[in-house]
Structure 1
Amino acid sequence: MATIAKGFTGTESRIDVLSGTPRAHVIDRWIFVFMAAWFIAIVLTGFIPDSIMKIGMVRAGARPPFPPVLHMHAVLMGSFLLLLLTQTTLMATGRRALHMKLGIAGVVLAVALVTVGFVLAPTMYHETWNALQSAPPNARAKLQEVVTIKENILLLQLRIGILFPLFLAIGIRARSGNAGLHKRMMILATVMALPAGIDRIAWLPTTIPASPLSVDLYTILAISPMLVWDVVRNHSVHRAYWIWFAVTLPVAVVVNLLWDTPAWHATARQIMGVG
């Protein structure tokens, strides 16, 4: 231990205060539970006030009722986040066998979540598009603005729909041979779906609708507790983060370049079948 400590501090008398300590081992076990709970807190902070406001608008006749697919998506996402919290807690408390059994449920939930997401996006878009087509002249400008925003948001939805299952697949594939990659990648996959909740936290500064930059920055901020602990604990950046950044950063550049361009709006309308 003294030799290891000397390698990091340059002295024999001062040891690394984290390596091998009970506190470090506790954090190693519970950091992933904290991340799952942290993600749930982010989603609830964004969606609870937003949902209350929109339910009030529905009751007042200011907006149409929520489509059933939106309720399905909410239930599936909530179930997935709760399962992530359960799975991380099971591993933190040493119940690996039950964790592995519940993993099958996680795969089923993930497939259902992605499938419903690809139904939800066009459903919500066409709701506004159809309203625009039948709106009186004095309401068209506002609805056109909403359509434009939804076409831009489609970029973020496509990113989630592609990268969320991709990172999950990497994590699931690593479950038997690389536990460190597996548990980190499950967290890094889940964070891809968080922008929907983050964007609804009204008191956060945002670059939306002008730019999606704030989405990228808040997503990195959301994983920072786990990332910072890993670097402090292991004195290096784990392979999982290199994979995650290698994929997400180029995609983020593409999203930022396409955002609110005429070419993207035309492409979005073709994707939605209204071009």
Structure 2
Amino acid sequence: MARTSTVSSTGHVRTGRSPSQDWTRLFYVGAACVMLILVLIGFRHFFLHGSAHPGRELTPNIRTLIIVHGISMTGWVLAFLIQSLLIATRRRRVHMKLGPVAVVLAAFILVSGLWFNVASFRLVPPDFILWTLTMKQFMVLGFYTLFMFAVFVAVGIWYRRQPEIHRPMMLLATLSTMAPAIARIDVLNALYQGTVMERLFGPSLGMLILGAAFLVVKWYVTRTIDGWYAIGYGVLASTQLLTIQFARTRVWDEIARVLLR
């Protein structure tokens, strides 16, 4: 990252962070706040009443699993906000010390997420339609979300000492989990339900729009395009589109049939 330098009246050179660095740090804090707010709105029934969307009872057979997975996912968004705040307030050592905790949380999310994805769809009638997809078709989105989350987290951890890569990867990891929350905000989904966009993107359009907005906002405040984020977002958007089309194939139908036995 670039630094600015000035010469004092005594001849000493003083260095400091450039304004773009400060804006970058604030951007990540702002992005984390936006995602946390969306999670709280989307899952408001869960947090306020202990119920599922749009107010129905949590499935008794997997109630504990739902609660554990929901809390762990919310914990990840909170962790992303805390880590962003630590960097913004120049507490990098604390940020680094909390890194292993985030790794453990990510691993727990993957395990509970895989368990939840299979267990929940075993209890749903096979002819139930959601976002133009049958339940067997819809199940692939859960696996896809966990896969992309794992990929972005893994890349972020591998490049943890290179902030220009680490930070956008962790942002993308968090963004990749946002579709379930945004899909539960009815006023937003009503804008495209029943259109060709619903068939193409399913419940993920809101998440992809949010990701595009992050790219534009970061460019606006820093006056530079974040290449790593742009590449990661492009992968996320294109594979999301392909995954929904794959969900409608006979190949996935056979895979889902085996998983749901």
TM bracket, shorter-chain basis: 0.7 to 0.9
Alignment size in residue pairs: 236
Is residue 2:167 matched to residue 1:179?
Answer: no
Match of 1:165 among 150, 159, 165: 150
Stretches of structure 2 that go unaligned for 5 or more consecutive residues are 1-16
1:268 CA displacement? 1.6
Match of 2:52 among 48, 51, 54: 54
Provide the residue aligned with 1:265 in structure 2.
Answer: 253
Provide the residue aligned with 1:39 in structure 2.
Answer: 35
For residues 244-267 of structure 1, give each alpha carbon's deviation from its aligned partner in whole angstroms, at most 9, with x where no partner exists.
Answer: 135324422322322444543333
Provide the residue aligned with 1:202 in structure 2.
Answer: 186
Match of 1:127 among 115, 118, 123: 123
Stretches of structure 1 that go unaligned for 5 or more consecutive residues are 1-19, 133-142
Is residue 2:90 matched to residue 1:94?
Answer: yes
- Divergent runs of 4+, >6 A: none
SS of the counterpart of 2:184? coil
Is residue 2:219 matched to residue 1:231?
Answer: yes
For residues 77-120 of structure 1, give each alpha carbon's deviation from its aligned partner in whole angstroms, at most 9, with x where no partner exists.
Answer: 11111111110001000111000000110000000001100000
| Letter aligned with residue 229 of structure 1 | V
Mapped to 1, the partners of 2:180 and 2:243 lie a distance apart of 16
> Is residue 50–residue 200 contact of structure 1 (8 Å, CA) maintained in 2?
no
Larger Rg: 1
Mapped to 2, the partners of 1:28 and 1:89 lie a distance apart of 12
> Is residue 153–residue 169 contact of structure 2 (8 Å, CA) maintained in 1?
yes
| Letter aligned with residue 33 of structure 1 | V
SS of the counterpart of 2:40? helix
Query: What RMSD over aligned residues (CA atoms) do the two structures have, in Å?
Result: 2.8
1:195 CA displacement? 0.5
Higher strand share: 2
Higher helix share: 1
Provide the residue aligned with 1:140 in structure 2.
Answer: none
> Is residue 192–residue 219 contact of structure 1 (8 Å, CA) maintained in 2?
yes
| Letter aligned with residue 146 of structure 2 | G
Mapped to 1, the partners of 2:91 and 2:33 lie a distance apart of 19
Provide the residue aligned with 2:7 in structure 1.
Answer: none
Which one is further off, 81-90 or 228-237? Answer: 228-237
Mapped to 2, the partners of 1:144 and 1:217 lie a distance apart of 24
When residues 224 and 266 of structure 1 are mapped into structure 2, their CA distance, relative to the original with a 3 A threshold, is same
Length-normalised TM-score, structure 2? 0.79
